[in-house]
Every structure is written in structure tokens, then in C-alpha cells.
Amino acid sequence: MNELALKELLYKMADDQLILGHRNSEWTGMGPLLEEDIAFSSMAQDKVGQSLALYTLLHQLGENEPDTVAFTRNANQFHNCVFVELPNQEYDFSLIRHFLFDTAEALRFDMLTHSSYEPLAQLATKIRGELRYHTLHANTWIKQLGSATPESIDRLQKSLEKAMPYALGIFEISPYETELISERIFEGEEKLMEKWMTKVESIISQTSLQLPDWKLVQPVMGGRFGKHSEHLQPLLDEMSEVFKIDPTAEW
């Protein structure tokens, strides 16, 4: 098995989960209503937990300890897409990002249940079930607020347009795409993107929201290669603050 290809895939997935998990946790205590506060906090816990499981797979392949990997790298060593590192902004943007990203993620793990790398297939089977709750949550709110009042529709529409170039960056092609596909580790970003577009269209078509023309959207790439926005480093500094004061602390 091509280990470099496998590691690259695991790193980008783990980093996506960790960074978006951290962003979700920023809603703790700030949610627009109690249930949403709990929902984003729970999804944060799921995502950070899932990133730990993925970093553990990497550790079993010879990479550093999960805490070291999570807390000691600089922004340019992270492989997450730029989309997940963007600040939460208003709730409408967070909700749109949650919908667009988690739809992709649920489909990605669904595809990975057939991975030729058995430990990943096992973990994906587990995570797939958990993500059904994330997509249920996202779809419920998008359908509700996407057809509610002129203000809710307008806010979601603007966020959707703002988010879309970044959302397409989720599917940035890996340098090992051919190897991943030929060794049946993962069916590839292009196939994932096709499935994702169909799913996104099916939900948005049940609302008053309009999807932009896919062909006219200019994707924001670079994240998978360590090229990030100015927002990632401050996030990492905050996330690793306690660890850096005392790396041996237990809590």
C-alpha cells in the first residue's frame, strides 16, 4: 500500500475535523438558542474525537503522538481546507458551512467504508453513523430557515454565495489522487464532489434558496498544500495555548 498517499488522506481529514471542531466549539455559550448551543458543542466534541481517532491511525503508521501532531504544528503544516478555518461569523454563515461541509464529510466517510485500508474502513463505518445526526441537524435547519422569513432567506442566500468558493476547495485534488484510486484506498475527490453536488442540490431545491451556477464559482484552493488564510494561525495559537504552557499536563 502506498503509505504516503494514505497518510496524506488521513492528515487532511483529521485536520478538517480538528479545525472545524474547534470553530464549532466557539459557539459554546454563544448559540442563538440553547438547543443550538448544545448542538454545535456536541458536533465539536464529535469532530475533535473523530480527529483523535484519525491521528491515532496516523500514529500507528509511525507519525507522532496525536497531541504532538495537533498542538505543535504551524499553520503551513496543516492540510485542512481553507473553508473550515474561516471565522464563524454570524450564525447563518456557520449553519451554511456546517451544511456544505458535513454533507461532503458524510459522503466521504460513506465512500471510505469500502476502503482497502481496513482500519480506515472500520473507523469510517463507525463515524458514518454519527454523522447522520450532523446532516440531520443541518438539513432540518436549512430547510426550515431557507423557507422561513425574507430575512432568514436573504441571510442564508448571502452566506451560501460567500461560502461556495471555499466549499469547492474541500475537493482540492491530492498529489496522490491516482494512487489512492488505483489502490482502492479512496475513490477520489472528483467522485466525492459529484455526489456532493447532487445531495446539496436535493436539499437546496426544497427551499427558497438559489444555488450559484457551479461553473461560475472560482474554488479557493491551497489548504491541502499548507496554503492558508490569515485566520488559521491565530486559531492554532489559541487551541494550543494550554498545551504549550505545560505539554505534560494531564486533564
Partner 1 sequence: MVISKQQILTWLEDVKDPEIPVLSLVDLGVITDVTVDKNHVRVEMTPTFVGCPAMDYMKMEVENLLKEKGVIPDVQISFKKPWSSDLISEKGKVALKKYGLAPPPSNKIFTDLEILETAICPRCDGSNTELKSPFGPTLCRALYYCHDCKEAFEQFKPL
Shortest gap between Cβ of 141 and partner 1 (angstroms)? 11
Q: Is 67 in the site for partner 1 (CB under 8 A)?
A: no
Residue of the chain from 137, 155, 224, 228 that contacts partner 1 (CB under 8 A): 137
Q: Estimate the crossing angle of helix 91-112 against helix 3-25, to 10 degrees.
A: 150
Q: Is 187 in the site for partner 1 (CB under 8 A)?
A: no
Residue 136 vs 173, nearer CB to partner 1 = 136
Q: Are 81 and 224 in contact (CB under 8 A)?
A: yes
The footprint of partner 1 on residues 23-52 (CB under 8 A) is 35, 38-39, 41-43, 45-50, 52
The footprint of partner 1 on residues 83-122 (CB under 8 A) is 119, 122
Those residues with Cβ within 8 angstroms of residue 66's Cβ, 6 or more apart along the chain or in another chain: 52, 55, 56, 58, 59
Q: Are 4 and 30 in contact (CB under 8 A)?
A: no
Residue 124 vs 193, nearer CB to partner 1 = 124
Number of neighbouring beta carbons within 10 Å of residue 245: 8
- Helical residues (DSSP H) of 113-149, grouped into ranges: 118-145
Residue 122 vs 152, nearer CB to partner 1 = 122
Q: Is 58 in the site for partner 1 (CB under 8 A)?
A: no
Residue 40 vs 166, nearer CB to partner 1 = 40
* Cα separations in angstroms, 147 against 152, 153, 156, 204, 205: 8, 6, 10, 10, 10
Binding footprint of partner 1 on the chain (CB under 8 A): 35, 38-39, 41-43, 45-50, 52-53, 119, 122-123, 125-127, 129-130, 132-133, 136-137
